[in-house]
Structure 1
């Protein structure tokens, strides 16, 4: 039986979500009113705003009707993971659109960029509101390591989008880098899916220790990719004279190098939190009073 709970619309996080729906709607409406483009960057921006609008509206409806309590998933983990993902998607969309598609006399494009950055602030606020605080009992994705898992997965997706423009299979070194991105992406993505689906309890081994080992391996693998990718990608490959920033595929090599370093930093932070959880927290819990 459906029961309406209007309290979710008047709570601070509910108000933030309503504003997210409004601003994402305004953003993709302004972009759409300018005209349609087949540019992949333009399509990514529009998809990001539309996706965030639809999922945020769905979350509001499910919580308003209390149907979220009947879903076979960890709702807190789901909304936290989505808020983090939406923040990252809107961040990338805001930067890309403001750099590539705005000009000093493009009023609607400037307006779309402004509302997109305001949307980014709102989603960042939501992450801060719903993530777990010290001493609280909540889902894994509401913690810092859980949010880092979402970041690691998203960064890997950005790398995959950029890698497809290059013949990486020509060089064994680049093949290894793509293998690193793929293996670590699958690992982080499965952790997110298992957490949201409440399947972690079925794992036969101590999860904290397994996560720590996998994080250490991911750090070691990304360390090799941070070194190997620039060596193979930029060796005998200077930047060409491109007519514009958007049309220069060489810039994507720089993006991949930066994203590889960013993911390395994320996995290092994730490993530190995991080690702290396994060894420091575990030692405190087992220490006799």
Structure 2
């Protein structure tokens, strides 16, 4: 009897990320050891930076927040598994650990790039700079550890697991993360205010982020059955809407930011602020370019999401 891929992928039982729970033996399992590495590396990273106060400015504070947040949540996950408290956890344990690991990998990857390029390179040689470089190294270690957990616990073909462990679920994490990075770059309202087409692009980023976040929260809360339509159909519709909206943004944002006929600045040299090297800051032209690139990347992510979501609904195996 044919079975739809929808049932195979979304119907969930136990998480493949489970280790031996309710016992210290959980820490000796491969996944437990991996999480210990995550815990230690993030702890060392923020400790090194905090000991010399090397986190001045927005980029420094962002890096410190990333390491502290990842350390705290990883500690919570370890304590829950050691105590065998998965059933009492307020979120779906089938979906939460891999969702968090994917976000943590992306956060640590971003921090490992942003912190040295916008902060460390401007520091004078000395103890503080050495600590900052060492912290960047441990941030990279944490990124690899989290990425390894994602690769270890993601769904395999034919495996019954939580939706967030599937390719579409992981793409949802990537989509929301890229949207957050876009929001950081467009934090200066001067980049889009007063231009309806650019304000439309900002609305696209916000709407698509909210839609993807809703899908993630429904899975984390095990609330997919509250929808008036089948969840796979909801995912396909969401991905289709996001693809169309991002396609519009991919046209409008570069057109109005870089085409001189529409008031754009086609050359970086035209932005006087880009002629100087400023600590902890990115000039407006670079912000515009970054948003354009991230818009294209997110469109590709949504296209892949649409292809996988449509396969969940229509393909039978």
**1:60-93 Cα shifts (integer Å, max 9, x gaps):** 0111011122224311201110000001100100
Task: Give 1:97-112 correspondences, 5 Å limit.
Answer: 97-103=115-121, 105=125, 106-112=129-135
Shift of 1:213: 1.8
Shift of 1:207: 1.5
State whether structure 2 residue 231 is matched by structure 1 residue 196.
Answer: no
- The CA distance in 1 between the partners of 2:283 and 2:300, in whole Å, is 27
State whether structure 2 residue 81 is matched by structure 1 residue 63.
Answer: yes
- Counterpart of 1:242 in structure 2 is 275
Task: State which of 20, 34, 43 in structure 2 corresponds to 1:16.
Answer: 34
Shift of 1:234: 2.4
- The CA distance in 2 between the partners of 1:166 and 1:205, in whole Å, is 38
Task: State which of 159, 171, 176 in structure 2 corresponds to 1:148.
Answer: 171
- Counterpart of 1:50 in structure 2 is 68
State whether structure 2 residue 307 is matched by structure 1 residue 259.
Answer: no
- The CA distance in 2 between the partners of 1:138 and 1:23, in whole Å, is 29
- Counterpart of 2:314 in structure 1 is 279
**1:135-165 Cα shifts (integer Å, max 9, x gaps):** 1111110101000001111111111121121
Shift of 1:248: 2.0
Q: Which has the higher contact order (CA 8 A, sep 6+)?
A: 2
- Counterpart of 1:113 in structure 2 is 136
TM-score (norm 1): 0.92
For the aligned residue pairs, the C-alpha RMSD in angstroms reads 1.7
Task: Give 1:203-214 correspondences, 5 Å limit.
Answer: 203-214=227-238
**1:167-226 Cα shifts (integer Å, max 9, x gaps):** 323101111101111111111001111101000022221211221122111111101111
In the alignment of these two chains, the number of paired residues is 280
- Counterpart of 1:92 in structure 2 is 110
- The CA distance in 2 between the partners of 1:214 and 1:53, in whole Å, is 33
Q: Please, which runs of 5 or more residues in structure 1 have no aligned partner?
A: 285-289
State whether structure 2 residue 241 is matched by structure 1 residue 217.
Answer: yes
- The CA distance in 2 between the partners of 1:228 and 1:32, in whole Å, is 43
- Counterpart of 1:82 in structure 2 is 100
Q: Please, which runs of 5 or more residues in structure 2 have no aligned partner?
A: 1-20
Moved beyond 4 Å, runs of 4+: none
Residues 256 and 226 of structure 1, relative CA distance in 2, 3 Å threshold:
same
Whether the aligned pair in 1 keeps the contact of 2:59 and 2:119 (CA below 8 Å) is no
TM-score (norm 2): 0.84
- The CA distance in 1 between the partners of 2:140 and 2:47, in whole Å, is 15
- The CA distance in 2 between the partners of 1:191 and 1:247, in whole Å, is 32
- The CA distance in 2 between the partners of 1:122 and 1:79, in whole Å, is 13
Residues 100 and 198 of structure 1, relative CA distance in 2, 3 Å threshold:
same
